[in-house]
Amino acid sequence: MSTKYVYLFADGKAEGNTTMKDLLGGKGANLAEMTNAGLPVPPGFTITTEACNSYYDEGEQFPAGMMDEVLAALAKVEAATGKQFGGGDNPMLVSVRSGAKFSMPGMMDTVLNLGLNDETRDAIAKISGNERFAWDAHRRFIQLFGKIVLNIESEKFEHIFEGYKHELGVKEDTAVGADTLAKVVADYKEVVKKETGNDFPTDAKEQLQLAIKAVFASWNGRRAKDYRRINKIDDKLGTAVNVQTMVFGNLGEDSGTGVAFTRDVATGERVIYGEYLQNAQGEDVVAGIRTPKKIAQLHEEMPEMYRQFAELAQKLETHYKDVQDLEFTIEKGKLYMLQTRNAKRTGAAAVRIAVEMVEEGVIDKKTAISRVEPAQLDQLLHPMIDPKAEIKVIGTGLPASPGAATGKVVFDPDEAEEMAKTGEKVILLRIETSPEDFHGMVAAQAILTARGGMTSHAAVVARGMGKCCVAGLGELKVDYKNQTAELNGNTIKKGDSITLNGSTGEVILGEVPLINPEVSGNFKTLMEYVNEYRKLGVRANADTPHDSEVARGFGAEGIGLCRTEHMFFEGDRIDSVRQMILSSTEYKSLEAQLANAKDADKAALEAKIARPSELYHGALAALLDLQREDFVGIFKAMNGFPVTIRTLDPPLHEFVPHDDETLQALATKLNMSFEEAKGRVDQLHEFNPMLGHRGCRLGIIYPEITKMQARAIFEAAVKVQKEGITVKPEIMIPLVGNVAELKLQADDVRAVAAEVFAKEGVTVDYLVGTMIEVPRAALTANRIAEVAEFFSFGTNDLTQMTMGLSRDDSGKFLPAYVEKKIYADDPFQVLDQEGVGQLVDIGIQKGRSTKADLKIGICGEHGGEPESVMFCHRVGMNYVSCSPYRVPIALLAAAQAAIADEGGAAIAKTTV
C-alpha cells in the first residue's frame, strides 16, 4: 500500500485530527481539528512531515506520487469553494505555510496569494469590484515569492515601493492607488527578470510546486536550525506544508486580520489579548510593517465580529484546555479562523495560567506542573530594575516581553553575536527584526525595535527565549549606515549603554542597577504543587550566610556544596591563606628533618623551624577563627537543614600572587626575600594542576589544613546547637580515587570531632563522605562506601576526566562539536548520560551494594539543569544541589520527573 502524503480538510470534514501532530505538524493537525469541530476554516490540505523527510532522503526531490495527491486534493478544494486555481472567472488563491510538530514561530517560510498572474489578478479585480486590492495582492505576491522562493533580497523590492510612496508623499501602504501599484508590479517583474534571468512564473501549478519546495527547504534554513538547536527540537521531525484557500482581510474597512491569544501571554491575565489591522493581510500584523490596534478596539469597530471571535476563542481554549494562539481574518464581514495552537508565553504568564487553570477546575495540579517548562522559571529569577534607582527615561515603546536588561547598543545581529562571544552584554537595536536576525537576538540581552507590535517577530521570539523586549517605539529613528539612533532629542551611538524595562516599555539612558525577584503569589503556589509530587530533594551550592538565606528563600532543603576555598578570597583573609602556603613549604621540610634528626641536631633544627612554624600555625589559627564564624552564619541560615562542606579542593598555586609587585609586598610582610618567596611560588607550579596536588591530596600532605577546617566546622556546630538550633554538618572530602585516601582524611576529621565534643560537652550528629569525581572512585565505589557515609557526584570534574575535556579550554571547539552533532549538548551544561551517566549509575549501584541506605546526591553545575535533574531522579539519587537561583528550576524538574514516572504528563514543548 502506497504512503499517503496529503490530508484534506474541507466542507466541515478533515482526514486528520489533533492527535496527528507527528504526521501533520501542529498547524495541520489543529486545522483538521477545527474543521471537524465545525469552525469557519478556509478549506485546504496538509502535506505530511513524511513527505518532507522523503524529500531530503531522495536528494531534494518530491517522493513519488506526492504531487499527484496534491493536485487531487486541490481539485477537491476547488469543488468545495466553487473557485478555480490558476484561472477562470472566479480564481482561487492559496497560502503555502510551514507547520512542524513543535512551534517554531517565524523560523520557516510562508507564501501568500499564490496563484496570481495577470489573468487571475484581473478576474479578482472584477469579482471583488476592487481594482486596488487586486493589484496590491499581486504586488505582495511577487515580493514574497521573489524573496522566499527565488531568493531575491527583499530590499530590492522594498526600495522600489518606498520610492513610489516618497514620490506620492504618503507613508501608509494603503494610500498607494491602483495605477501606482500597477507600475510597482511591472517594476517587480523586471527585478525578477534581472536577478534570475527568467520571467516571473505565471503558471499557478508551477508556482505551487516551487513554493512547496521552498517551505521544505526552510526546514534546514539557518534560523530554523538555530531555533531547533536552542530549543532541543529533533532535526529529523521535518515540517508539514499547509496549502489553504486564501481569504482576504484587505478588501476594505469591513475586512481585517489579526493575531490574538485567549489570555495575555505576557502576564497570564484572563483576557483576550492581541492585535489586528483593518484592511490588511496577516503579514502586516506580524511583520511590523504597520503598527496594529489592540484587539479590544475590534469590539468597538466591528462588535459582531468581536462577539463571534471571542466565542470561538473560548470554545478553543476549553477544547484544548490551554491558552490558544489564534490567527483570524475577516473578509467582508465574515470571520475565518486560520490557525490555533498552544500559545508561547513568558515564564510569569506560564506560572499564572497554570495555577489559575487549576483554580478554575480546567486542569489538575499534575498538568499544571507539566505545563511550565523549567527554563521558563529562569525568566522569573532574572534581575529587574531597582525601584529605588534614579533613572532617565528617554522613550517608551510597547512592553513586548517583560524583565530588564542593561547592555551596549549594537545595530547588527552578526556584531551582536561576535561581541557576546567575548563576554560583552549587548542590546540589539533594530528598525524591526526579521527571522534572519535570530542569531543576534539569541546573543543579545534584550531587543529594542522602532516598529512592530506585541505580536511582532521581535516580541514573539523574545518572549519565547525569556528575553526583555521593547517594540514599536515610533519615535526611534534608526540610521544603520552611521550606527546611530535618535530618540526624543537623544543620540544613541553604537557601544552606548542603555537599559530596557520590558515590563513597562521604558528605554533608559545608561546602566541602571538591577535587583533579584522574590518567590511569592502564583509562583509560590506552583512550588507548593511541585513539593506535593517530587521525590528528589533539592539543595543549593552556597558559600556564605547570604547565599544560604537566598537558597532557603527559593525552597532549598539544605546546602549540597559549601566550597570553603571561596571563603578564603574574601577581604584580607587571603593574606592569611598566602602566609600559610608560603610558610608551609619550609615548615614541612624542616618538620620532616626534625622527625628523623639525631639528638645532637635537634636543637639547631628546632630553632630554625620556629619562625616558619609560627607563620604556618599562626595563619591556620587566623583562618580557624574566620571559618568558624562563616560556618556559624551558614548553620543559622540553614536552621536544621543539612550543610555539606567540602574541604579545601583547589591547588595551592591558585591562592598565591603571580605578579611581582604583589609578591614583593607579601614577601616583606612575611620577612622573607623576594627571591625566596618567588622560589616557593615557583615550586607550586604544575603542568596540569587540575590533576595535580589538590583535593584530598593536599589534606594528606598537609593534614593540619583538614584538621583546622574540621575544627572550625565542629566548633561552629557546637556553638549554634547550644543556641537551640539543630545543626547537621556533612564533611565532604574531594577528589578521592582510592578508599585509603578517604580513610586517612576521615580519621583526621573524626579525631577532631571527638576532641571538640569532649571539650564542649556537646555532641553533634554529623556525616563524613566524599565527592565522586574521579572515574576510579565510581568504579571502586563499593570499597569507598566502606568508609563514606554519603556520596556526592562532582560531575564537573567527572565530566572532565571521563571525556578528556578541559572546562577552561574546550570552549574553543565544543560549540562546533554541538553544531556538528558530535555531542547533543555541551557536556558541561547538560550531563552526558550515555558516557558520564554510566559512571554515575555504576557508582550508585556499587556504593549501595555496600550500604543499601547510602545517601547520594550531585553537586556539579548539572544539578540545576532540567534534563540532568531528571536523570538523577531515574538513577535513584536522594538529592541534587545547584546555585540558589536555579533551585526552583530543579524543584520543578524533579516534580516533572516523578509525574512522568507515574505515567502522567512529562515536560511538553509547546506545539504549533
Catalytic, out of 562, 859, 872, 882: 859
Asked if residue 188 lies in contact with residue 230, where contact means CB atoms within 8 angstroms, the answer is: no
| Separation of alpha carbons 190 and 210, rounded Å | 20
SS (H, E, C) 359-421: HCCCCCHHHHHHHCCHHHHHHHCCCEECCCCCCCEEEECEEEECCEEEEEEECCHHHHHHHHH
382 catalytic residue (yes or no): no
| Separation of alpha carbons 64 and 178, rounded Å | 43
| Separation of alpha carbons 904 and 896, rounded Å | 9
Q: Give DSSP secondary structure letters for 800-868.
A: HHHHT--TTTGGGTHHHHHHTTSSSS-TTTS--TTTHHHHHHHHHHHHHHH-TT-EEEE-SGGGGSHHH
CA distance readout (Å), 296 to 40, 278, 592: 22, 13, 85
First to last CA, the chain: 30
Grid coordinates representing 551 are 537558597
The position carrying cell 562546533 is: 816
| Separation of alpha carbons 814 and 827, rounded Å | 9
Question: What SS3 state is found at 509?
Answer: strand
The position carrying cell 641536631 is: 601
Strand pairing partners for 328?
Answer: 258, 337
The b/e string for 12-42 (b: 16+ C-beta within 10 A; e otherwise) is eebbbbbebbebbbbbbbbbbbbbbbebbbb
| Separation of alpha carbons 781 and 791, rounded Å | 9
Question: What SS3 state is found at 487?
Answer: strand
**Which is nearest to 257 in space by CA: 210, 290, 234?**
290
**Which is nearest to 522 in space by CA: 625, 371, 670, 410?**
371
Catalytic, out of 457, 653, 862, 873: 457
Question: What SS3 state is found at 292?
Answer: coil
| Separation of alpha carbons 261 and 512, rounded Å | 33
How many residues are given for the chain?
912
Question: What SS3 state is found at 12?
Answer: coil
CA distance readout (Å), 409 to 5, 253, 422, 708, 880: 48, 40, 15, 50, 39
SS (H, E, C) 160-218: HHHHHHHHHCCCCHHHCCHHHHHHHHHHHHHHHHHHHCCCCCCCHHHHHHHHHHHHHHH
Q: Which amino acid appears at position 531 of this protein?
A: N
| Separation of alpha carbons 410 and 47, rounded Å | 41
| Separation of alpha carbons 323 and 268, rounded Å | 9
Task: Compute the radius of gyration of the chain from its Cα atoms.
Answer: 33
CA distance readout (Å), 315 to 319, 455, 560: 6, 22, 48
| Residue 183 burial (10 A CB sphere; 0-12, 13-18, 19+) | middle
How many CB atoms within 10 Å of residue 272? 20
Q: Give DSSP secondary structure letters for 595-657.
A: HH--HHHHHHHHHHHHHHHHHHHHHHHHHHHHHHHHHHHHHHHHTTSEEEEEPP-S-GGGTS-
How many CB atoms within 10 Å of residue 153? 12
457 catalytic residue (yes or no): yes
CA atoms within 13 A on the CB side of 296: 4
- Active-site annotation, residues: 457, 859
